[in-house]
Amino acid sequence: MVATFLTSAISFGMIQFRISEALAALAILFPGASIGLFAGCLLANLLNPASLGIVDILGGSVATGVAALLTYRLGRSYRKKLRCYLQSREATDRPGMVSRLIPLSMPVIINALIVGVYLPFLIQGTAPTPAVILLSVLSIFISQAIAIYGLGLPLLLAMERTPAALDALKHEE
């Protein structure tokens, strides 16, 4: 949430880039991340000085929460491979990039489809053209992809060997 406000000029509006979205990558490892991501998004949207109202406050938060839950759910295979790799240290057991990228696609796709569709309606106040909606969806998709794959994936790779990740993997067994 702090990162969202520090970069508020690019965090809110039709074209938005939230650096804090990189944290969504942590949902692949930590089941509790879903709650934190939902709450952080809710607070950021609630405290937004240029609030777009209840639809954005709840819509964006629910989209983020659902995406995080799906990321965790789809990350089961990744966590299993990571657990095997950390136990054996055999390079052949290391999770492949695809096992990371597929679950991490959830925040990109879900936020683009949900937030990208309703945002033009809230900002314009009238019914936007299909082209405006498509541009909004594409804009959110691109910004989410940059945040998730450009910032979140390196964060995930760094987190894989931390005691917190090891602890999360042990609790899943």
Answer whether 172's CB lies under 8 Å from 32's CB: no
Residue-level pLDDT, tens digit, the chain, 173 residues = 545 445 555 555 666 777 888 999 999 999 899 999 999 999 988 988 778 889 999 999 999 999 999 999 999 999 999 988 888 877 677 898 999 999 999 999 999 999 999 999 998 878 999 999 999 999 999 999 999 999 999 999 999 988 888 888 887 76
Q: Which residue has the tokens 């945002």?
A: 119
- What global pTM score does this model have? 0.86
Which residue is associated with the tokens 């290391």? 94
The Cα 108–Cα 36 span in angstroms is: 18
Q: Residue 85, Cβ neighbours under 10 Å: how many?
A: 17
pLDDT at 52: 85
Please tell me the distance from the alpha carbon of residue 146 to that of residue 22, in angstroms, as a whole number: 9
Residue 15: per-residue pLDDT: 65
Q: Can you tell me the distance from the alpha carbon of 91 to that of 93, in angstroms, rounded to the nearest whole number?
A: 5
Intra-chain end-to-end CA distance of the chain, in Å: 32
